[in-house]
Structure 1
Amino acid sequence: MRAISGQKIQNPQTNVPNTQQMNDKDFITDLLSTEKYMSASYGTAMSEASHIQLYQEIASTCNETDQCMRDLFNTMFQKGWYSLEGAPQQTIQQTLQEYAGMKGQLPSGNMPH
């Protein structure tokens, strides 16, 4: 997909009632925020786990949380409740090259996983 810089990428918005009670958008937004917090917390817990089985269990739960977070994002995007900002292909390629360069500078950047 080629996006023009500054162009919003968004699906048509699914309307929800504007009331004091929580609606579908509010619930999913709350769930996504919670999943983001949990993912960050699991990341911290993994880095501090001293036992390999505990680390693996936390890592597995973190992966499930990340997948749930991705599913919630996709649902919000499909319903038009989340939009993205388009970037030119040149900017995308430049960012990928910068990331690859930074990754190569990390002590573990060239180590097999």
Structure 2
Amino acid sequence: MNDRDFLNDMVTTEKYMTDAYSTAMNEASHEDLYNEVSMVFNETQNMQRHLFNLMFEKGWYSFEGAATSTLNQTYQQFTGYSNQLPSSGMVQ
């Protein structure tokens, strides 16, 4: 495996871990447990972001920008969805 493969594996692992920690926080019945898992979640999320930035800087993680018209259309679509929610005034 080369460096790119190792970093990609680490980013993927961190993503799965944050997903699992998120579920654990949602289901924690004890406040201290929630706080502990939340702290580990934040550390893991920060590491995932750091690894993502490193891959992006090296050109190993890239994406294409969307056209302004596509962004506006998507924004309008989700604004419409948020207006249909019972708490529509609370979604920003």
Partner of 2:69: 90
Residue 98 of structure 1 and its aligned partner are, at CA, apart by: 3.7
Offset from partner CA, 1:40-61 (integer Å, 9 cap, x none): 1001101110011211211121
Residue 88 of structure 1 and its aligned partner are, at CA, apart by: 1.1
Partner of 2:90: 110
Partner of 1:4: none
**Which runs of structure 2 are paired with 1:23-42 in the superposition (5 Å)?**
23-42=2-21
Quick one: distance in 2 between partners of 1:49 and 1:106?
A: 26
Q: CA RMSD in A?
A: 2.4
1:53–1:103 CA distance, 2 compared to 1 (3 A): farther
Q: Which amino acid aligns with 2:12?
A: S
Q: Which has the higher helix share?
A: 2
Which structure has more relative contact order (CA 8 Å, sep 6+)? It is: 1
1:106–1:62 CA distance, 2 compared to 1 (3 A): farther
Number of residue-to-residue matches in the alignment: 90
Partner of 1:63: 42
Gaps of 5+ in 2: none
Normalised by the length of structure 2, the TM-score is 0.79
Gaps of 5+ in 1: 1-21
Q: Which amino acid aligns with 1:84?
A: F
What percentage of residue pairs aligned between the two structures are identical?
Answer: 51
Q: Which amino acid aligns with 1:69?
A: Q
Residue 74 of structure 1 and its aligned partner are, at CA, apart by: 0.9
